[in-house]
Structure 1
Amino acid sequence: MSHAPTDSTKRKRAESHSSDLAPVQRSKIWMPYGDIILQAESTQFRLNRDILARQSSVFEDMFSIPQPAFEPTIEGCLIVHVSDTAKDWESFLAVLYHPDPFRSVASRPYTVVASMLRLGKKYDMCSPKEDSLRRIYGEFPAFFELPDSSDKGWTMIDYEDNIYAQMLNLACECGLNSAIPRLGLACLQNLPRRWSGTLVTLAFALERILEFQRERLDWLHGNAIIPHKSCKSPTACVKEQKAISYAIACREEYPFHVGYTISEWDEEWDDRFCAACEAAAMESYDASQQKGWELLPTFFGLPPWEDLKDAV
């Protein structure tokens, strides 16, 4: 027979439920003349609604609607609950309340770039969103370009451990489809195999990339290209051909270096063959470089470049 819960039982359940909730805390971003309290998770921020409305059409519309008279307030400020992380808002507001918030700084931390993109997209804030997109596509352009010998590495986003995987996740989360091919390739190049091989997207791509690379490195196998018909030292050139093929096959990370997908001729192969064989091998390798770029999105299960659209 069931029993109705007693007052004592109800009280215990209520106490248990309330104890599971994190205590509300005040953020360091607490403007003394702010007129709105924004709460993300268990963190509250006191802000100026005019500043938010100026950046975001979503907040502008929200604040234009008359609010009920008996809504709870803190220090006379209405509380607005958002479903984002407190970390995203803290990173974003630290930039927003800077004297020159979206100035052209050379580089920003990844956490700031990510928060500006997430919140900029969700709340229709053009300046932070465009700042983030400019940096992401500055590091990982969605167009083919030859490597620059003066490349200084990361210049628009601060490099940190595991940044490739974080940025790939961010691109997938925010619909930056045209950034995924380069980011995915960078993950395969820079993450240990035991990590990248466990990610479905990367595992799917790796199989197709290696299949393409076998085609691109076909000049290392058989005698269709080496020795060339004009080769004056076929024995020596075939020996070098086999040596390079063996060295690539013995790589610890993958059977082939994933960079061979769109990379230029490897300088390590210079002067290994006679002039005729080297020219023939280089011609074969370089001819497939553009093809590798054109196929790159499809390796990750995406449409070709011309049909690839961002959802941001």
Structure 2
Amino acid sequence: MSDSLMVDEHRSKRQRTESEDAEPKPPPLVRSTEYWFDDGNIILQVESTQFRLTKSMLSMHSSVFRDMFTIPLPPDEPTVENCAIAILSGDTAEDWILLLGVIYPKTYLGGSPSARLLTAMLRLSKKYDFPLIRKDCVHRLKQEFPTSLKKYDKTNWNFIKDDPDAFLLLISLAREIELHSILPQLYCSITTLFPNKYLRRILDPADTSLAASDRLACLLGHTNLLRLQATTTLAWLDWNAESPPIPAEDCCSSSDCADAARTIFISIFNPPPPSRLPEIWILNDWNKDWDLMLCTTCRRKAKEIYNAGRETCWQELPAAFGLPPWEELKSLDFE
């Protein structure tokens, strides 16, 4: 091989090595198309996005920014269009776009914000101390996920109906911002309402939607709730007991009610495809279809057992997922 070819080959290898070792260039800075105000006097840079905003608006909402703006800038501090630049590390531009949509609303928020919007507002309002926004978000979450059965029975889950991943998103948020009192109901929702969907995701090691501790809590809770309902809400279905609750002593059609209890038991604990997991009836309302299968006397007795069981299950709900009692969970909330 000639000297010139060896030099060319060496140069080529060196160029490739230097190229491979070089750190990737950061993405170019872009200005927000929605939140770049001509009268803005501060620029927030989040990831590669810059927002030109007003100090007065940020200071009105946030004590962190209010304090920040009282500190004079060094004379050689770089500026853009005579505006100082505040680089916010650890945040995402997507979260800030959602939060700024609340601070600078184009329409009245009203109604029901999405779980994604609530997550962004709570995360940033806690970090930068936006007390009014944070208080409103926490209030909404505690309304949707209360700590009493009476309030639970009145909830509608307004902002998560159309978001299939809302429960996973809110579990991670509750951990992050220390809103512990909503965790039992979030875990319960995953394990009771959507077990075939969510438990498979929890068992999938490639799915990183939840932390390992939350995965374990859900799996543990699913097993514990199955056991709990057998002695509470569904105790009236124990047709193998020496003195089964159904049929009742004064039942007018004991064989029919006994068969009904057996049929309901099998449908819950051995459901036909495509559902492969037993159903969990601990907080659900009484199934009105069961009314048609039982006589008046047995129906009354079964409902009494079922409704008393719901009260017991609610009190035991945190423990089923390895959490402290309701009152302790409330005391652990960050506010």
TM-score by length of 2: 0.80
Q: Is the 8 A contact 1:265 1:285 kept in 2?
A: yes
2:291 maps to which of 251, 258, 270: 270
Q: Distance in 2 between matches of 1:44 and 1:303?
A: 43
2:194 maps to which of 190, 194, 202: 190
Q: Is the 8 A contact 2:116 2:169 kept in 1?
A: no
Amino acid at match of 1:241: A
Percent of pairs identical after alignment? 33
Per the TM alignment, residue 302 of structure 1 is displaced from its structure 2 partner at its CA by 1.6
Q: Is structure 2 residue 249 aligned with structure 1 residue 229?
A: yes
| 3-state secondary structure, aligned to 1:159 | coil
Per the TM alignment, residue 157 of structure 1 is displaced from its structure 2 partner at its CA by 5.8
Unaligned segments of structure 1, at least 5 residues: 1-7
Q: Is structure 2 residue 92 aligned with structure 1 residue 85?
A: yes
Match of 1:310 in 2: 333
Q: Is structure 2 residue 49 aligned with structure 1 residue 32?
A: no
Q: Distance in 2 between matches of 1:256 and 1:311?
A: 36
List per-residue Cα deviations over 1:117-175 (Å, max 9, x = no partner).
11111111012112222322232223222635xx7x44356732322222222222222
Match of 1:205 in 2: 221
Runs of 4+ in 1 over 6 A off after TM superposition: none
Per the TM alignment, residue 38 of structure 1 is displaced from its structure 2 partner at its CA by 0.8
Instruction: Assess, with a 3 A threshold, how the Cα gap between structure 1 residues 231 and 158 changes in structure 2: closer, same or farther.
Output: closer
Q: Is structure 2 residue 312 aligned with structure 1 residue 291?
A: yes
Q: What is the CA RMSD across the aligned residues, in angstroms? A: 2.6
Amino acid at match of 1:91: L
1:44 maps to which of 41, 50, 64: 50
Q: Distance in 1 between matches of 2:222 and 2:116?
A: 28
Q: Is the 8 A contact 1:107 1:158 kept in 2?
A: no
Q: Is structure 2 residue 230 aligned with structure 1 residue 214?
A: yes
List per-residue Cα deviations over 1:58-104 (Å, max 9, x = no partner).
1111111222222222122111111211111111112212268xx56
Q: Distance in 2 between matches of 1:269 and 1:235?
A: 16
Counterparts of residues 54-203 of structure 1 (less than 5 Å): 54-82=60-88, 83-98=90-105, 105-145=110-150, 147=153, 153-156=156-159, 159-188=162-191, 189-190=193-194, 192=197, 193-197=199-203, 199-203=215-219
Range with bigger deviation, 221-230 or 175-184: 221-230
Amino acid at match of 1:256: P
Match of 1:4 in 2: none
Q: Distance in 2 between matches of 1:94 and 1:265?
A: 42
* Count, aligned residues: 297
Unaligned segments of structure 2, at least 5 residues: 1-13, 205-214
Instruction: Assess, with a 3 A threshold, how the Cα gap between structure 1 residues 30 and 104 changes in structure 2: closer, same or farther.
Output: closer
TM-score by length of 1: 0.85
